Amino acid sequence: MKRARRRQAIIAGIVGLAVIVAVVLAALHVLRPGMLDPRDTSRPADLAGGAGVDPTTQIINRGEYLARAGDCIACHTEPNGKQFAGGRAMPTPFGNLYVPNITPDDETGIGQWTADEFYRMMHTGISRDGTLLYPAMPFASYTKVTREDSDAIYAYLMSVPPVKHANRPHELRFPFNNRDLLIGWRALYFREGEYQPDPSQSAQWNRGAYLVQGLGHCAMCHTAVNMLGGSSESKAFEGGMIPNQNWYAPSLTSNREAGLGNWEIKDIVDLLQVGVSHRGTVYGPMAEVVYNSLQYMSDEDVDAMAVYLKALPPRDSEPPPSSQARLVDPGVMELGRQVYVAQCAMCHGEDGKGQPPAFPPLAGNQSITMSSPVNPIRMVLNGGYPPGTQKNPRPHGMPPFSHILDDAQAAAVVTYIRVAWDNRGTPVTTAQVNDLRKLLPE
């Protein structure tokens, strides 16, 4: 009973603190006339629970929404485990990290944490006991989150059922198990500071930027990671392999990859929120993001994210492939055509135009023709489903073909879809297919 009363007192205190913070922000933060603060999470009104809901519940409801936006559950919950109880292994090139328990258990979770300590962790990447966090925790993005939003997330986490589940020590190889090395990493790759709206942009653009750069931590996957586990801010959103997941997160700045400059806003919104659109379908890690996070976000916020993503400055980190690089052996092309007609044309059409949104088009699909062929190879071998979402609860899936096609056939059909129908991809090799086949579970 004492613990319950203590948590109620803490949450009630947060409500008062949030009001004070809002007043201070309103006094200090000057916006151009007619511009709403994009960091204001009171929009839309129904996210706070509507009229008649007490302030504490409103704060908790908003915190739940923001925790969804940050996809906290994806890392802090083991498959089939208790929500936010941690313990999930996170493989990295340096060894395994084990995600901590963030339920309000006093002994093994964050039950003893204060709102100040939680904000410091989110904002600076420093834990309650002064420990430097490893950057698998996306504090480099979460630093942009406002104090008000951090307090709401904290209030929500303090309201979930506490779970007694001891945290497991990390298993990192020497010298990466020496946290002092993080001091150098932080000097190179971490810039502390809340998001500051750009007065030259609209409120909608700024709201989208706040969500994409902050809680959404989209750059964490869509920016190449170097040998030190860091990424260059100048190459943000230019795409890269996701460490230890063997999926390629495409560039969001190149229209030859996943750049959205020539997409309609509706198609971007559908891809983010529904998981399927008339331009493409999400699979792999992005499908998890849509399932755990984006499908629960308001139409207003997803629209804002789409506006921001569509406006990213176009950048190509490498030139398009030359005509020489795109040459395909006629025998390989014919084998690929035969496999495609037998296995793929029923859903994707002989002309590659598909039957969107159920079966995505392959003709003119940048995800097929990117410089990295990893994703189409994996889809042919593994198959997969887009996420089941509120707006698409029964998605159409793609069967795996690893048990039907050998390496040569799989390489040929992936080559075919990358160069047929005026697609401007390059051929793939049997060795590339075999390397990914070795990753399949036995």
pLDDT digit string (tens) for 347-402?
Answer: 999 999 999 888 889 998 888 888 889 999 999 999 988 999 999 999 988 999 99
Predicted confidence (pLDDT) per residue in 230-281, tens digit:
777 778 888 888 877 888 888 888 877 777 778 899 999 999 999 998 888 8
Q: Which residues in 233-306 belong to E strands, given as ranges?
A: 240-242, 247-249
Other beta carbons within 10 Å of 129: 6
- Amino acid 94 reads F
Helix (H) or strand (E) holding 379: helix 374-382
Mean pLDDT over residues 423-437, rounded?
A: 93
Is the link from the previous residue into 93 a cis peptide, with omega within 30 of 0?
no
- For the chain, the maximum distance between any two Cα atoms, rounded to a whole number of angstroms, is 76
What pLDDT, in 10s, does the model give residues 286-307? 999 999 999 999 999 999 999 9
Tell me if 23 sits within 8 A of 164, measured CB to CB.
Answer: no
Which helix (H) or strand (E) segment is 98 a member of?
A: strand 95-98
pLDDT exceeds 50 at position 36: no
Give the confidence band of 317 by pLDDT, cuts at 50, 70, 90: low
By the 8 A CB rule, do 66 and 148 touch? no
pLDDT band for position 326 (cuts 50, 70, 90)? confident
Residue 236 burial class via C-beta count within 10 angstroms: exposed 0-12, middle 13-18, buried 19 and up: middle
d(CA 70, CA 41): 14
Q: What value does the mean pLDDT of the chain take?
A: 86
Q: What pLDDT shows up at residue 375? A: 92
DSSP-based three-state secondary structure for 116: helix
CA distances (Å), origin 400, targets 34, 317, 363, 384, 413: 53, 32, 21, 7, 14
Give the amino acid at 234: S
Q: How many whole angstroms separate alpha carbon 335 and alpha carbon 207?
A: 49
Q: Is the pLDDT of residue 25 over 80?
A: no
SS3 130: coil
Q: What crossing angle do the helices spanning 374-382 and 407-419 adopt, rounded to 10°?
A: 130
pLDDT exceeds cutoff 80 at 24: no
d(CA 104, CA 60): 14
The reported pLDDT for the residue numbered 384 is: 86
* 8 Å CB contact between 214 and 69: no
- Rounded CA-CA distance 105/161 in Å is 8
Q: Which residues make beta-bridge pairs with 222?
A: none
Task: Give the angle subtended at the CA of 203 by the CAs of 197 and 209, to the nearest 5°.
Answer: 55
Q: DSSP 3-state assignment of 273?
A: helix
Would you say the C-alpha torsion 241, 245, 247, 253 has a positive or negative sign?
negative
Residue given tokens 């096609």 in the structure block: 405
Give the span between the Cα atoms of 301 and 39, in whole angstroms.
11
pLDDT given at position 311: 93
Block residue for tokens 């949450």 = 11
What are the structure tokens assigned to 378, written together? 């994996």
> What residues are paired with 96 via a beta bridge?
91, 171
Considering only residues 223 and 36, tell me which one the structure prediction assigns the higher pLDDT. 223
Whether residue 9 is predicted with pLDDT greater than 70 in this model: the reply is no
Quote the tokens at residue 80. Answer: 């089939």
Q: What is the DSSP letter of 389?
A: B
pTM (2 d.p.): 0.82
Query: Which amino acid is residue 34, in one-letter code?
Result: G
Query: Cα–Cα distances in Å, from 351 out to 346, 379, 420?
Result: 11, 19, 9
Phi and psi of 225, rounded to 5°? -105, 135
Around Cβ 146, how many Cβ atoms within 10 Å? 22
Cα–Cα separations (whole angstroms), residue 420 to 251, 330, 408, 425, 426: 22, 12, 18, 9, 10
Q: For residue 370, which of 253, 202, 265 has the smallest C-alpha distance?
A: 253
Q: Given this model, what pLDDT does residue 19 score?
A: 37
